[in-house]
């Protein structure tokens, strides 16, 4: 996952995913610093959150004078797929279909996911 977000971005996303509520920069900072010997600066976390919001990995909502953040994707795979489809469009989908056609297990998993109530495994 760190390939998509970078090491600190991955930590920030893990912190957001672990919360049931939108988080302020301060709350994310405190969550990250609990696990660190060398504390991060507020502005560092604020910058990472801003970049994650710009990328579409997190949402940013005004709250008072600042913002609260929450994940915009369920996991890194969702963001990766969205990026590939956005960047490569129909060609990416066509290659995926080719892969699914050649792999009976993948084809069966895809069929199951397309059924109502199908869940990713």
Cα 85–Cα 70–Cα 63 angle in degrees, nearest 5: 130
Task: Please tell me what DSSP assigns to residue 35.
Answer: T
Strands (E), 5-121: 23-24, 58-63, 66-71
* pLDDT at 73 (0 to 100): 94
* pLDDT at 2 (0 to 100): 52
So where are the chain's domains? Answer: 2-71, 76-114
Task: Please say whether the beta carbons of 76 and 13 come within 8 A.
Answer: yes
Architecture of the structural domain at 2-71: Orthogonal Bundle (1.10)
CA 32 to the chain's CA centroid:
17
The yes-or-no verdict on residue 119 having pLDDT over 90 is no
State pLDDT tens for residues 63-108. 999 999 999 999 989 988 998 999 999 999 899 889 888 999 988 9
């Amino acid at each position: 996952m760190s390939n998509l977000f970078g090491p600190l971005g991955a930590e920030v996303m893990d912190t957001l995913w672990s919360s049931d509520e939108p988080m302020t920069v301060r709350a994310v900072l405190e969550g990250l610093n609990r696990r660190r010997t060398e504390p991060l600066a507020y502005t560092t976390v604020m910058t990472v959150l801003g970049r994650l919001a710009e990328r579409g990995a997190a949402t940013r909502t005004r709250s008072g004078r600042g913002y609260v953040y929450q994940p915009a994707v369920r996991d890194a795979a969702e963001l990766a797929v969205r990026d590939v489809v956005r960047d490569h469009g129909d060609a990416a989908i066509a290659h995926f279909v080719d892969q699914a056609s050649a792999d009976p297990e993948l084809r069966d998993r895809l069929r199951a996911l397309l059924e109502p109530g199908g869940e990713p495994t």
